[in-house]
Chains A and B, each alone.
Chain A
Amino acid sequence: MTLEATDCLVKLYEEHHNLEDYQGGVPRWCTGCGDSGILTAVQRLCRDNDLAPERTVFVSGIGCSSRLPHYMKTYGFHGIHGRALPVAEGIKLARPDLDVFVSTGDGDCCSIGAAHWIHAIRYNMNMVVMLHDNHVYGLTKKQASPTSPLGFKSNTTPRGSTLLPLNPLTVTLGVQNVSFVAQAVDWIPELLYEILAAAYKHKGLSFVRILQRCPQYLPKMFDPWLQDPQKSLILTHDRGVRPSAGLAKIYRNQQEHDPSDINRAREIASLEDPIPVGILYQNPDVPRYEELRNAGQLRTADYIKAGLEAEFDKFTIWPDGHDAPAA
């Protein structure tokens, strides 16, 4: 066999993917919706890491943001409201070999699915969780969400919402076993991509809160941050992300932050003005549930049979003269 032919074969079997290989149906989000930017970033991420579409699963709950799996050409699971995380955990425990991504909204994750959110952090299974945080219920047409700003006038709070918003970053950083927390914004695609790429590389549950514009119901919500780059604090580190030279010229409010420092991470997470953008916390050493549980073992029929017979023995009454097999 000539060298060229071998090369050829390698080429033949080596899957190489283009962006189109990850592009599913035509997105049905409103014009200007921040979800589109998130979709573009994850499609790039899949291409750049050459993820096999058949070994990649995008899981979501219900909401505008949860439509994302439909626009990928991978496997997808568009499930029920609030339960994206348990579904993703089931997939990962059954199939640790699959790459799992989760898209969830602020209602989906922080309201109806709040219990699962806390526990997903504890399980720390290897997956990327993207919280598409638009501060509003989009799909159900403008109700207040747990992250809506105080005084937000919505269909269920016509005189303004009465509660202070919940901060998903501080909540997540308060949970035992947290291993990766970052914040991105849909309007800085470069950092959104870099942060998601770091999240993908992290082994454990990577929680990325993405501030996402909803021009339909909260058209002006993020204007102050769009208009004034100083209102975004870019977290930089060798083990985090660094803006390109061009971006750094616009976003000059930067701070070196070591993502292994959880106390500082918690302080940064509490900042309201400016808001942090970058990786707040990362600890690669937190054990992962699927590994703790030895998920994905090969179970042959003989193996199961041997275990089953041993259990049967414990309950068996043998006929007279017939002794139980040695335990």
Chain B
Amino acid sequence: MNEVLTSDRPKARAGEAASAKKVVTLDETVVEIISDSGEGAQRCGQSLGAIAAKSGNGVWTVEIIPAEIQPPARSVAGASGNRIRIGSHRITNGGDEADLVVAFNEQVLLGRVRAGELKPGCIILLESMWRTNRNAAIAESYVSTHDQLVKAGYRVYEVPLELECRKLVKDPRKGKNMFVLGMLCSIYSLDLELGREQIAIAFGKKDHKVIESNTALLEAGFAWAEANLDLKYEIPGVPVTAPRMVMNGNTALALGVLASGMDICAMYPITPATSASHYLSDCFEKVGGIVHQAEDEISACAFAVGASYASKCTVTITSGPGLSLKQEAIGLAVMAEIPLVVINVQRGGPSTGQPTKPEQGDLFAAMFGSHGDAPKIIMATSTIEDCFYSVITARKLAETFNMVVVILSDANLATAQQPFPRPTFSEDWLAPPLDQAPVPAGARPYDWDPVTGLKRRFIPGQPGGMYTLTGLAHDRDSHVAYDPAVNEESHRSRSLKLAAFQRTLKPPAVFGDTEGDLLVVGWGSTKGAIEEAVTRLRAEGRKVGSIHLQFIQPMASGIKEIMQRYKKVMTVENNWSDDPKDEIINEDNRRYGQLAFILRSRFLIDIDCWTEDRARPIKPGTIVAALRAKLAQ
């Protein structure tokens, strides 16, 4: 640690400051920090998460992002910030309603109140400068909102953020966030030294003055809270014994690309996938990799297919609408049996849809989106750690089976941060060196194995392997062939590969009761929330369990047997399904959640679904209510 940063600083540590406040020990808590965009609430939240993680706490952070870059100031829909759930144990999701909210103005706060994001009686720390605003309308809005909130039972503390920060910096808009971070360190008895470290990391690239002024703000916030607030909590952490990493899902995906040994990522910017490419652009080239930003997604995917054809497996990263544009090239890769990894960070809707909001809406598009029969492997990531390892697995599968592997992540995982054990590098992660050995005489480019459908791929540069890849129906020599038997043989071979891979899959592990009244089936980012809901219901004595599918295509054996051990089976998904209680909905026209649809058709079991599509991560409490209702049916 740099001398400049540590000398002559108040050494305020947990419990050190002179306070006779009663310290309340919590098992876990949910904090939100919200502001207009550009006021730094996000950085404050991320820093709080990192400090808590370093203190040995379980952490999950959720970004609160408005769809616009610069929404009007003080607008209800403009809340920008972070939700941080901190626990004494491992935290796997963003939790239910917030216990404490720091708001930089009353309007963004109103947005969160209306969305039902605050617990009854939630503590609110509200910037008080608006009370005396020269604009009477603003002052009035503040006062009336404040009074309403107090009346509604929230514990509102007015905090003179602006006033206090102005004592230290000229432009408090740029510094309030670190003042708030200091306050939160005091409130949750976190080590201020970790806060200083975090500032050094966050502003590392800037000059010392910036670090110093932010550190001063941090300390001032801490001191202010110590002196003026009667809030003091402690969330005991478990001492960190092995190195862990904290990052969001998109960073983990990008690191997975690095670790998989792939050389090239071809992409076109689209939220929420882009941040993965941003980070990759920064770190990939340092190890000889290349991020190619193509002119559009069609080009990006065709580019990736071309690169894969001539070399190692390549990856393309996108979100929903981009996936649609890539489908033709994906179909070609399937037909020509070129390995390809497609990462789709799902979001809601077409055009710009709900670009910053989560939805598990692209399972069908991934599975059926290409023309004709296009068998490919589809896997879903369910934790941050999973985002990292999935890419390594996908690369390996793509090259072993000469297949397209689609990884489905989503906006929830993309921006959520969670600690996980630091991986230990293995050379097995990397793609083997390029095969440039001569092809044995008589070998053919599509010599499908009659049982597994597998064939060896010839790579340009290999003497004797010359063939012309084609998207047309082709025979074992890659010659265009329209005769019916050849067409069926090539279809069969491509399809068999999925079965060959399926034979290697183990049944998914059951969480909770291994038999009983209700089995929940999920996929993707809802894992933590589902398992938490199952845990809560079991604590009430209910017989429930859950499975979470990593591979949706192909699906492991044994799933049907697991389902048959429960009276009821239901999927929980963050996408659309018709509500059977709607007036004109009946069994003949009800549209199911995407996984439910697939499970029903595969297993011929009456699998129900409960889905929510509110453009936000599903809360465990909401799932508990849905499962209770299902159990009561």
Chain A interface residues (CB < 8 Å from chain B):
24-25, 52-55, 57-59, 62, 69-70, 72-80, 83, 86-91, 93-95, 97-98, 115-116, 118-119, 293-295, 297-299, 301, 303-312, 315-320, 322
When the two chains form their complex, are residues A320 and B294 in contact, meaning their CB atoms are under 8 A apart?
no
Residue of B nearest to A311 (CB): B283
Cα-based distance from A305 to B246 in the complex (angstroms): 19
Binary per-residue interface labels of chain B (494-529) against chain A in the complex, 1 for a CB within 8 Å, 0 otherwise: 000000000000000000000000000000000000
> By the criterion CB–CB under 8 Å, are B419 and A307 in contact?
no
Q: Give a binary string over B253-269; 1 marks a CB under 8 Å from any A CB, 0 the rest.
A: 00100110101101000
Complex CA gap A115/B298 in Å reads 10
27 CB-based A-B contacts, threshold 8 Å: A58-B468, A75-B468, A76-B466, A77-B468, A78-B469, A78-B472, A79-B332, A83-B329, A90-B264, A91-B309, A94-B306, A94-B307, A294-B285, A303-B288, A304-B287, A305-B425, A307-B286, A307-B287, A308-B258, A312-B422, A315-B247, A316-B243, A316-B244, A317-B244, A317-B419, A318-B243, A319-B241
Are the CB atoms of A76 and B242 closer together than 8 Å?
no
Q: Are B466 and A78 neighbours in the complex by a CB distance under 8 Å?
A: no
Q: How far is B468's CA from A58's CA once the two chains are assembled, in angstroms?
A: 8
Task: Give chain B's interface secondary structure class.
Answer: mixed
Q: Which residue in A79, A306, A312, A319 is a CB contact (below 8 Å) of B242?
A: A319
Q: Which residue of A lies closest to B258 (CB)?
A: A308
Complex contacts, B283 vs chain A, CB 8 Å: 307, 311
Are B303 and A317 in contact, CB atoms less than 8 angstroms apart? no
B460 touches A318 (CB 8 A): no
Alpha-carbon distance A98/B434, docked complex (angstroms):
14
Task: Determine how close the nearest CB of chain B comes to the CB of A46; give it in whole angstroms.
Answer: 12
- A119, B245: Cβ atoms closer than 8 Å: no
- Interface pair A317/B243, CB less than 8 Å apart: yes
Cross-chain contact of B332 among A80, A305, A307 (Cβ < 8 A): A80
Given contacts A54-B466, A90-B305, A304-B261, 18 further A-B contacts (CB under 8 A): A58-B468, A74-B466, A76-B467, A76-B468, A79-B471, A86-B302, A89-B303, A89-B306, A90-B304, A90-B314, A93-B264, A95-B310, A294-B288, A299-B261, A312-B423, A315-B251, A316-B245, A317-B240
User: Are B289 and A299 in contact, with the CB atoms below 8 A?
Assistant: yes
Question: How far apart are the CA atoms of A311 and B264 in the complex, in Å?
Answer: 18
Assess A316 versus B422: contact at CB under 8 Å? Given A95-B461, A301-B430.
yes
Q: Closest Cβ of chain A: how far from B426's Cβ, in Å?
A: 9
Q: Does B427 contact A (CB under 8 A)?
A: yes
Rank and list the top 8 A-B pairs by shortest CB-CB distance, nearest first. A90-B306, A76-B468, A307-B287, A87-B306, A94-B311, A90-B307, A86-B302, A94-B307
Q: Which residues of B contact A55 (CB under 8 A)?
A: 460-461
If A75-B467, A88-B306 touch, does A83 touch B246 (CB 8 Å cutoff)? Answer: no
B88 at the interface (CB under 8 A from A): no
Give the residue of B247, B300, B307 whose beta carbon is less than 8 angstroms from that of A91. B307
* CA of A322 to CA of B285, assembled, Å: 30
Minimum Cβ distance to chain A for residue B388 (Å)? 10
Query: How far, in angstroms, from A311 to B279 measured CA to CA in the complex?
Result: 10
The answer to whether the Cβ of B561 comes within 8 Å of any Cβ in the partner chain is no
User: Which residues on B sit within 8 Å (CB–CB) of A303?
Assistant: 287-288
Expressed in whole angstroms, the Cα–Cα distance for A211 and B326 within the complex equals 32
- Whether the pair B310, A91 counts as a contact (CB closer than 8 A) is yes
Q: How far is the CA of A86 from the CA of B304 in the complex (A)?
A: 8
Minimal beta-carbon separation of B159 from chain A (angstroms): 30
Quote the shortest CB–CB distance from B610 to chain A (angstroms).
35
Considering only residues 278-335 of chain B, those with a C-beta below 8 Å from chain A are 283, 285-290, 292, 294-296, 298-300, 302-312, 314, 328-329, 332
